[in-house]
Amino acid sequence: MSSYAALTDVGLTRGHNEDEARAIELPGGGILLAVADGVGGAPGGDVASHEGIERMVAELLRLGPEAMGEAIAAANDHVVELQGTRPEWRIMATTLVGAVVVENQARVANLGDSRAYLLLGGELKQLTRDDSWVAQAVASGDLTEEQARLHPWRNVVTKGLGVQDGGAPTFYQATLEPGDALLLCTDGLFKMLSDDDIRRILLGADDAENAAAALVEAANAAGGMDNIGVALYRA
């Protein structure tokens, strides 16, 4: 039987949690998943992730599961509008990954450097590409993966809700068979765990709720260096 779950955790080293995660059954069928990671270094990251995800969810509930693009545009407008209401929120922003699963079809939209992964036939595969300065530099051959991991600009996103000219998501699609899974997560999860760790945890848990809890526990056991956000659907 399919299952879904969402969970966030402050981690072990941060003072407060700027990650948001949702897993909601849509009226008329379909599961909505979303994670958002408030961009660090600017005040209001927690406001951007919370307000952005709430607005996206509200719009999807209002407009239906096909309206991911419109829902994200509305969420971006909302964050941009909030930026103008307080000087300290002027550059607040958030990553966002949203997904709607209807029957065995998943549609995913991404902005920023949170990620979607697929477990397909027991193998883990990264579905989304990071919208980040270092990912672009790696793609163009200017940095190696290792240099990117340590680069001072490693947290600079090129897309996100509230990022200037960065509000248009990239869409991805996947087909899920029974036993497959779709995982949305913030970097506080995937920077603490290897792909093989994630794969083994997803395969070892009997439902989405247990798998999400086990992923968060493992990220904390590996150091919990950042907030952790997870939204998971298991077909």
State the binding string over 157-186 for Ca ion (x if CB under 5 A, else -): -----------------------------x
Is residue 235 within 8 A of residue 176, CB to CB? The reply is yes
**Does 187 engage in binding with Ca ion (CB under 5 A)?**
yes
**Least separation in angstroms between CB 18 and Ca ion:** 7
**Does 37 engage in binding with Ca ion (CB under 5 A)?**
yes
**Does 197 engage in binding with Ca ion (CB under 5 A)?**
no
Question: In 10 A of CB 178, how many CB atoms?
Answer: 9
**Does 226 engage in binding with Ca ion (CB under 5 A)?**
yes
State which residue, 9 or 226, has the beta carbon closest to Ca ion.
226
**Least separation in angstroms between CB 63 and Ca ion:** 29
**Least separation in angstroms between CB 114 and Ca ion:** 8
**d(C-alpha 229, C-alpha 22), whole Å:** 9
Q: Which residues of 8-40 are buried (b: 16+ CB within 10 A; e: fewer)?
A: bbbbeebeebbbbbbbbebeeebbbbbbbbbbe
State which residue, 11 or 169, has the beta carbon closest to Ca ion.
11
Task: Give the pairing of strands 105-111 and 181-185.
Answer: unpaired
**Element housing 8 (H / E):** strand 3-9
Region binding Ca ion by CB under 5 A among candidate stretches 36-44, 54-62, 137-145, 200-208: 36-44
**Least separation in angstroms between CB 10 and Ca ion:** 11
**Least separation in angstroms between CB 27 and Ca ion:** 31
**Nearest residue to 200 via CA among 116, 126, 119:** 119
Structure tokens at 87: 């000087």
Residues near Ca ion, by CB under 5 A:
37, 186-188, 226
